[in-house]
Amino acid sequence: MKKYVFKRVLYSIVAILVLLFLLFLMLDLMPGSPFNDDKLSQEQIEILYQKYGLDDPFFVRYFRYIFSIVKGDFGVSYNIASNVPITQLLETRLPTSIRLGGQAVLLGASLGLLLGLVAALKHNTIFDTIATIISVLGVSLPSYVFALALSYTFGYRLGWFPLLYDSANPFISSVMPTVALSMFSMANIARFTRTEMLEVLRSDYMLLAESKGISGPKLIIRHALRNALIPIITVLGPLIVNTMTGSLVIEKIFSIPGIGELMVRSIQQNDYNVTIALSFIYSLMYIGIMLVVDILYGIIDPRIRLSKEDNHES
Amino acid sequence: MKLNKILALILAFVMAISMTACGSDPVDQPVSDNPAQGEDANKEGKILNVHVTAAIDSIDPALTSAGDDFEVIGTMVEGLFQCDAAGAAIPGMAESYSIDENGTWTFNLREAYWSNGDPVTADDFVYAWQRCFSIPAEYVFLFETAGIKNASAILAGEKEISELGVYAVDDRTLVVEFDVPCAFFDSLMFFPVFYPVNRAFAEECGDLYGSAPEYYLSNGPFVLSEYTPAATEFKMVKNETYYDADAVELAGLTYKVILDSQQAYLAYQNGELDVCVLSSELADLLSTDPEFLATESGYLWYMSPNINNEYLANVNIRKAIGKAFDKEAVCNNILRNGSVPADFCIPVGLATGPDGKDYRESSGLTYNEYDVAEAQALWAAGLAELGVDSIELTLIFDDEESVKLVAEFIQQQLQENLAGLTITLQPYPKKQRSDLMKAHDYDIGLCRWGPDYADPLTYLDLWTDGYTHNYGEWHSDEYMEILGKIKTVEYAVDPEARWELIKDAEQIIADESVILPVYQNCNASLIKSDISGIEFHAVGLNRVYKNVKVG
């Protein structure tokens, strides 16, 4: 097991280094510069390049960047928040995005599980149909459609929730964004739960459990759901990351000071440092969560760990 | 069975909600439970909720070049002059001033204080101006435009920053010396790069200056109370230490950065916003709303013909192209945001002349008006002079939706109205389009220019020899001579004569069709009917809130 975890961690570190290099290279090849105001003279642009060390060769800049990242310094923003250290930009924004993503995942996962369970237990009834319709809608409609529909109904017509995010009232003003953001993961989890549950319910060991006289919630939760959960956890990992990073559109609509909105702007304005720092954080989240899922998977189902180790050795 | 009942209940609940949703009229909706409104009611005076469409890059006057940023800085800091509702310069930090025979300005500063209680001193101006050179500020070229002594030499690296022609004689006396006197120096002074910065405070803050309310000082009507860099919402409250605080009625301002215009409009209707900026789709939809307001921005969109092109070197060809498309249709059918057709090269609302009138009003010049018959005659004459019967040209433009629509419309109209003309459209990312035009490597380019200061020279300079933005490399000795004269001491002290020279210069641009103007951009907003006194400007500070009245 130790060997397995060690290997996974090592792979992750290599993946991050390769990724940083590719990011750096791609940004270097992008047209334009952070200082693309029409009114800047060539001399001024040169002074700014010197000031930020952008006139150094590619590899000098790359290694300098890697070393400063190791020290926790992501550099300063060039134009979207002139001269402000990126760590300061992230200080308030990262928690906001994580909070929103977290809320959405929590809501999406619990609602999704519930919906999937109902659909599976009431298989081929009207409940199943309704649950399926909801999850198909959730998967196929983009989140901004929900965001607009919620804004119009609950924000504008009914006036229950504010239309814009307000950092002084983070909970009440994050209700609509959370719901809109959770739709996709909810629908996905509902579909997965339904399929898995149906399979488990039809299996022999369920028949055995039932014939042993176990019934009701105990049968469902302990025997059916537990077995159905294993594959669900696997899809939950990428879903969490998707939800966290997918808040981009939602952040724009509800005017939420998160990192998604920052990412878009930094790309549009060639603010290299911000783009790299955010891509790095996104990748770190993705790789980190995948690592945890991988390890968890190994723990939950020893067969997988063993077969993987077999594969490596063969 | 139990589940059936629960489901029935949920269904009933959803239906009830959707029925209330359909039945209620948005106008009648009580907004009392809206948090923003509730907050207002608790405080004395009104907090104005203002919409901005892009995040603020910086509130440090030396670190930004964006129009919205200038507005925000101007709400908090005041320079030597401020602008009145019509855009003319009126004394701000300068209580009085005198100009001696050498053109040197001596300012007597009023007794004014920073929001931390420090007095505003002449040295704060010296520090702030020199700081623009050391950072360097994107707008530092304005010091050169102002003709301040040694500004050009410092920019060229020939002199030290400390040699800039600005001196603090004592705490309340500031002297500014010039290489070349500037006729519009007073109106330049309400540009943020010329604002004062408290030396002791800023030096103590270092790089943190302007990054949070505790690292920023106001000497203007409002003071920052909540702010983080690139924030989506930030707040200001009335500055009680402001010398003219009695005139300020608002208790404060909340800026909300909302990128999605639909959401902003809903928020406006819900009372979360008092001022809402409209996208062109919404502007078109809401143009009859009593709270709708279209204001001219100083941006002029025009087509620049490259004089190096063998066909475009012919003035009849240029004129024909400039007259052969319907500018009204561009504004009313495509842009639909209140933009106005431009038959001029210096926009409306840019500068007020010595006669107290807007330049456009006193000039009265129009050229290249849409006239198909005349365009066709000019076209035929041009073709005959060139000895050809067909011309192929490429029109380059920014790769943006609205620009693309305008370009397509112009292409279609030109090809329809001018027989033998083929226009190929070529979109580019903005930066690349601008680089191509600066390298004079194009036929016709659709582009825009925003004014840097409130004087026609900000446009007229564009067509002088060697200027980076003289894309088409047009040249005229007569024009250069007039522009040389406009900038001399003789005319700097004689504004009436200078104004006449400016008109002469514009006449040459019109006669030669140096640029083919398309439209002047407008900004459309909604403003709550109980709010009045927001001053809109085409140049410098977009919106000024000092004199806002409620009710």
State whether residue B141 sits within 8 Å of chain A by CB: yes
For B428, name the nearest residue in chain A, comparing CA atoms only.
A31
Residue A64: what pLDDT?
83
Is the distance from CB of B65 to CB of B132 less than 8 angstroms?
no
Which of A163, A171, A174 best probes binding to B when mutated, by most B CB atoms within 10 angstroms? A163
Phi, psi of B196 (to 5 degrees): -75, 155
Q: Mean pLDDT lowest for which of A68-82, A126-140, A249-263, B50-64?
A: A68-82
Nearest to B64 among A48, A82, A158 (CB): A82
Show the tokens assigned to B138. Answer: 């994107």
Query: Does the pLDDT at position A18 exceed 80?
Result: yes
Residues of B in contact with A252 (CB under 8 A): 259-260
| Interface contact A44-B140, CB threshold 8 A | yes
Q: Within the 117-136 window of chain B, which residues sit less than 8 Å (CB to CB) from chain A?
A: 136
Which ipTM value was assigned to this complex? Answer: 0.76
Compute how many other C-beta atoms are within 10 angstroms of the C-beta atom of residue B357: 13
Residue A246: what pLDDT?
64
CA A193 to chain centre: 20
The CA R_g of chain A, rounded to the nearest whole Å, is: 24
State whether residue B29 sits within 8 Å of chain A by CB: yes
State whether residue A256 sits within 8 Å of chain B by CB: yes
3-class SS of residue B126:
helix
For B27, name the nearest residue in chain A, comparing CA atoms only.
A157
Q: Mean pLDDT lowest for which of A3-17, B78-92, B180-194, B448-462?
A: A3-17
Confidence of residue A245 (pLDDT cuts 50, 70, 90): low
Is the distance from CB of A276 to CB of A20 less than 8 angstroms?
yes
Residue A39: what pLDDT?
64
Mean pLDDT computed over B141-155: 90
Is the distance from CB of B444 to CB of B395 less than 8 angstroms?
yes
Mean pLDDT computed over A170-179: 87
Residues of A in contact with B7 (CB under 8 A): 127
Expressed in angstroms, the distance from the first to the final Cα of chain B is 59
CA A283 to chain centre: 10
Residues of B in contact with A80 (CB under 8 A): 55, 57, 230
Confidence of residue A40 (pLDDT cuts 50, 70, 90): low
For B432, name the nearest residue in chain A, comparing CA atoms only.
A32
Nearest to B229 among A31, A89, A158 (CB): A89
Chain segment A68-119, per-residue pLDDT in tens: 888 878 888 887 777 788 888 888 888 888 888 888 888 988 898 888 888 8
Is the distance from CB of B146 to CB of B80 less than 8 angstroms?
no
How near does any CA of chain B get to the CA of A253, in Å?
Answer: 5
* CA B473 to each of CA A235, B60, B313, B444, B445: distance values in angstroms, whole numbers, following the listed order: 61, 36, 10, 12, 13
| Domains and their CATH numbers in chain B | 47-256+528-550 (3.90.76.10), 296-523 (3.10.105.10)
Q: Within the 505-524 window of chain B, which residues sit less than 8 Å (CB to CB) from chain A?
A: none
Residues of A in contact with B232 (CB under 8 A): 165, 255-257, 261
Query: Does the pLDDT at position B278 exceed 80?
Result: yes
Q: Within the 185-244 window of chain A, which residues sit less than 8 Å (CB to CB) from chain B?
A: none
How near does any CA of chain B get to the CA of A86, in Å?
Answer: 10
Q: Taking the model in full, what pTM does it have?
A: 0.80
* CA B30 to each of CA A74, B36, B37, B71: distance values in angstroms, whole numbers, following the listed order: 47, 13, 11, 32
State whether residue B207 sits within 8 Å of chain A by CB: yes
How near does any CA of chain A get to the CA of B130, in Å?
Answer: 15
Which of B263, B462, B471 best probes binding to A when mutated, by most A CB atoms within 10 angstroms? B263
Chain segment B357-388, per-residue pLDDT in tens: 889 999 889 999 999 999 999 999 999 999 99
Chain segment B292-303, per-residue pLDDT in tens: 998 888 889 999
State whether residue B33 sits within 8 Å of chain A by CB: yes
Mean pLDDT computed over B111-117: 94
- Strands of chain A, DSSP E: none
Residue A38: what pLDDT?
63
3-class SS of residue A125:
coil
Sheet containing strand B166-170, edge to edge, reads: B94-99, B105-109, B173-176, B166-170
| Interface contact B256-A254, CB threshold 8 A | no
* CA B79 to each of CA A70, B49, B97, B107, B121: distance values in angstroms, whole numbers, following the listed order: 44, 25, 14, 12, 12
Is the distance from CB of B451 to CB of B297 less than 8 angstroms?
no
Q: Within the 298-357 window of chain B, which residues sit less than 8 Å (CB to CB) from chain A?
A: none
Q: Which amino acid is at A241?
A: V
| Interface contact B35-A162, CB threshold 8 A | yes
Give the highest mean pLDDT range of A2-6, A218-222, B24-28, B523-527: B523-527
Mean pLDDT computed over A273-280: 86
Is the distance from CB of B239 to CB of B75 less than 8 angstroms?
no
Query: Does the pLDDT at position B32 exceed 60?
Result: no
| Interface contact B57-A79, CB threshold 8 A | yes
State whether residue A157 sits within 8 Å of chain B by CB: yes
| Interface contact A256-B256, CB threshold 8 A | no
Q: Mean pLDDT lowest for which of A74-78, B190-194, B238-242?
A: A74-78
Show the tokens assigned to A293. Answer: 């899922």
Mean pLDDT computed over B55-80: 89
Confidence of residue B177 (pLDDT cuts 50, 70, 90): very high
